[in-house]
Chain A
């Protein structure tokens, strides 16, 4: 029987993968994708709880998150394209000018 726990564990695993991706990958597009992973992990949690509690509130929030994620993806990709045009690179390690 697949219960709430299974969903939460899956969600946590996906979220952890997303976090690790953001922290260690060397490509901005992959980092953006990792962020999407984290968002969707959260969405999964919301849905699981919505189902478990028999309330639609969680599903409403998920719609919001999906809308925001769409917008974020658009802007993020636009920035990435712009950065690539300037620097011919997508490695965040090469973008360290903003420091002391």
Chain B
């Protein structure tokens, strides 16, 4: 790893980047009703837009070797330990900032149209702005503790937004599921932080500051580092939906579609990747953890892709596709190619947001229909949505000169050149499946006969400009953002150059010829995937909307490998059974029994003894006499 000195500059500007969305959220919370739906929405958009403008300004000022820092105040000061409420921007942060505020801004604008009919639009924008605030906190925090605060905050907003339409009980359950599954990961995360603090503290270093950590992390034992990174990675599997904690993300599609685009595709779910990249100096010292991450990432990518092949819900396909793409990112992390991972985060944010917003546009046009078997032929009705969807689909499939081509190829090439041939092969097959299921979706939704019922068909319309404009911008981004990270045999990567001060120079193994070869193999597989999808769903007379197969494998895929049912059987049911046991038996009989038993005992004795208290003074006087005689007898007995 290359040690680079980064010059630190203090600036008061940074604090406004997260604070403005927070302010927007607070103002809407108190005055949103007064402002009205449109006013509140515009205010929320303006807040994120201002943030975005600030980010662009900061980005233009920042040299790639520099760090901007803005210290608000010392948050925790205990003994030698100190944690600040302080923001930090370096090359890695700017990438995430541009994604969060830029795409966040577009999705805010889109939501103006998409949520325009919803009575609760004000609440929606409060949550959305709050989410942006927490996400910025996560990204800009200069220490692990602040990152964790943001981490929990986005989890909260995710929960709130998944259950946004709380009238439907299923949405609430989906929100709970997301929250609880994330808690499991967060437990690992926070224990990881504790171990890190304790072990560094044993060496006399009390800090969680990223810059300080990077200086001192070499003092730790290799075994300790492996443990810490493993625990932190558990947190990442929760937030970034990796095996075994990926089950919440598909259910999270219960939320409004802009939420799926913003939180569950572009930003929050990539927080795990960001965290590993932020702590790359730690992970780089733990080869065992990296190997595990690579395997988990690849496995997740593969299994999620196989599930996506057969799903019929337009958003479920995209959800599993997101899980699969996140798997790619972790594959890159596992290879130590943090730059490639962040690059895929960046490009994926564009095309997946575009896909989700496109699907939202479709759902909007069909009056809430999400089943792809009841779509088809929408190309003629909504050309703008169609063409942006095509571009984004090409990008995620990895067609040459789109963003996905550059980023996914980079990951596959890094894997191959590291000698992880098996992982590469699985990743390759996954790329083929990605192409297949995305084109299956494209054909099912936009081509062929329209299978919507007559009532829905009458209302199909292109979405208004406020929704299509973000789509177009994202579609443009889906192509051109990839050009930043072109391989050496084209025009070279500006991306690696920008992130080099953070991650050190990316090692370029292998020859250009083998890199080209790998690329062509990938392209061939992708082409096969697209062609198969065309044969089964696109060709005239193909059975669009029909099953792609039958048998055990098909059932497995359609039912998501029964993972939900297995978890339900292993964890949820025993847990609810135990809860019922404690609520029905232990609480009323043991706990209440003990408390009531004490009271009943006292009461029982008192019914016996209270008979003594007659209220008649003469009885009391008689008692005196008995007492006196008893004492007298006792002392006289002593004397004799």
Contacts and interface: CB of A to CB of B under 8 A. Distances in A.
Interface stretch (B4-12, B220-228, B611-619): B611-619
B622 A23 contact: yes
Given A19-B625, A23-B622, A100 B616 contact: no
A99 B341 CA distance: 82
A92 B616 contact: yes
Given A19-B625, A22-B621, A23-B621, A96 B616 contact: yes
Interface string A1-35: 00000000000000000010011100000010000
A32 B613 CA distance: 23
B621 A96 contact: no
B614 A99 contact: yes
B459 interface: no
Contacts of A24: 618
Interface residues of A, number: 13
Nearest to B611: A100
Interface in B608-638: 610, 613-618, 621-622, 625
A96 B618 contact: no
Contact of B614 (A22, A23, A96): A96
A23 B625 contact: yes
Nearest to A96: B615
Interface in A58-100: 92-93, 95-100
A97 B610 CA distance: 14
B618 A23 contact: yes
A93 B619 CA distance: 10
A96 B618 CA distance: 10
Given A19-B625, A23-B625, A100 B618 contact: no
Contacts of B616: 92-93, 95-96
Nearest to A24: B618
A22 to B, nearest CB: 6
Contacts of B621: 22-23
Contacts of B613: 99-100
A19 to B, nearest CB: 6
Q: Is the interface of B mostly helix, strand, loop or mixed?
A: helix
A93 B614 CA distance: 10
A1 B616 CA distance: 45
A98 B614 CA distance: 8
A92 B617 contact: yes
A49 to B, nearest CB: 18
Contacts of A97: 615
Identify which of A22, A23, A98, A100 gathers the most chain B CB atoms within 10 Å of its CB: A100
A82 to B, nearest CB: 16
B94 to A, nearest CB: 79
A18 to B, nearest CB: 11
A88 B625 CA distance: 29
Nearest to B622: A23
B140 to A, nearest CB: 69
A100 B610 contact: yes
A100 B606 CA distance: 10
A19 B610 CA distance: 25
Contacts of A92: 616-618
Contacts of B618: 22-24, 31, 92-93
Contacts of B622: 23
A99 B625 contact: no
A99 B636 CA distance: 34
B334 to A, nearest CB: 77
A95 B625 contact: no
B12 to A, nearest CB: 73
A96 B615 CA distance: 4
B628 to A, nearest CB: 10
A22 B625 CA distance: 11
A100 B615 CA distance: 8
Interface in A17-57: 19, 22-24, 31
A22 B617 CA distance: 10
A57 B160 CA distance: 91
A97 B616 CA distance: 9
Contacts of A96: 614-616
Identify which of A23, A24, A31 gathers the most chain B CB atoms within 10 Å of its CB: A23
A31 to B, nearest CB: 8
A99 B610 CA distance: 9
Nearest to A28: B617
B614 to A, nearest CB: 6
Contacts of A22: 618, 621
A79 B14 CA distance: 85
B616 to A, nearest CB: 5
Interface in B595-613: 610, 613
A99 B614 CA distance: 6
Nearest to A22: B621
Contacts of B625: 19, 23
A57 to B, nearest CB: 23
Nearest to A25: B618
Contacts of B617: 92, 95
Interface in B235-250: none
Interface in B524-576: none
19 contacts: A19-B625, A22-B618, A22-B621, A23-B621, A23-B622, A23-B625, A24-B618, A31-B618, A92-B616, A92-B618, A93-B616, A93-B618, A95-B615, A95-B616, A97-B615, A98-B615, A99-B613, A100-B610, A100-B613
Given A93-B616, A99-B615, 13 more contacts: A22-B621, A23-B618, A23-B622, A23-B625, A31-B618, A92-B616, A92-B617, A93-B618, A96-B615, A98-B615, A99-B613, A99-B614, A100-B613
Interface of B: 610, 613-618, 621-622, 625
The 9 closest A-B pairs by CB, nearest first: A99-B615, A96-B615, A100-B610, A99-B613, A98-B615, A96-B616, A23-B622, A100-B613, A92-B617
